[in-house]
Amino acid sequence: MSVTHLIESPTKADGAQLWRIARDSAKLDLNSPYAYMLWCRDFAGSSVVAREDGEAVGFVIAYRRPDDPATALVWQVAVDASQRGKGLAGALLDALYTRLVGEGVRYLETTITPDNEASIRLFTSFAKRWNAAVETSVLFGGEDFPEAGHLPEELYRIGPLTTRTDPGE
């Protein structure tokens, strides 16, 4: 599917809208509105937002790992309900990839709970599109979380990524 949204770096003014998109997803671990505003300010260079008619309709929040600047960790991916099923999440990841790989990032990481089939499909499809390997391991077991019943967070490490700019090249 063709996605024709404007995809660019978020601004701190986007934080409240990103929080609403995450909240309305009813699937993501929701952080405070303040956290989204800070992420939009502090991680704008490693994150992307999709806009339609000037409004944020999807985002990827990521950061470069301080201990490994060649690795970016994708914190959250969210798409407004009105935009789901149109390929926007994949387009956001592709846009992030093409920006960060030019800056020396060679690996994308994310954590996914085993029951989140949509995220597993999103990231494994991304890796396939860019011809990159995927390694998985448990980063945090369920017992590591303070709340009962939290599923393990599995680390998906994708790469090494190359400098090509189009999937399938």
Q: Which neighbouring-strand residues pair with 50?
A: 7, 58
The pLDDT of residue 27 is 81
pLDDT tens, residue by residue, 99-153: 999 999 999 999 999 999 999 999 999 999 999 999 999 999 989 888 888 899 9
pLDDT bin (cut points 50, 70, 90) of residue 164 is low
The domain defined by 6-159 folds into Aminopeptidase (3.40.630)
Domain ranges across the chain = 6-159
Tokens 């949204």 belong to: 5
Instruction: State the DSSP H helix or E strand holding residue 63, giving kind and residue range, or none if neither.
Output: strand 55-65
The pLDDT of residue 112 is 96
Give every CB contact of residue 126 below 8 A, 6+ residues apart in sequence.
Answer: 90, 93, 94, 97, 108, 158
The pLDDT of residue 149 is 87
pLDDT tens, residue by residue, 70-97: 999 999 999 999 999 899 999 999 999 9
Q: pTM (2 decimals)?
A: 0.90
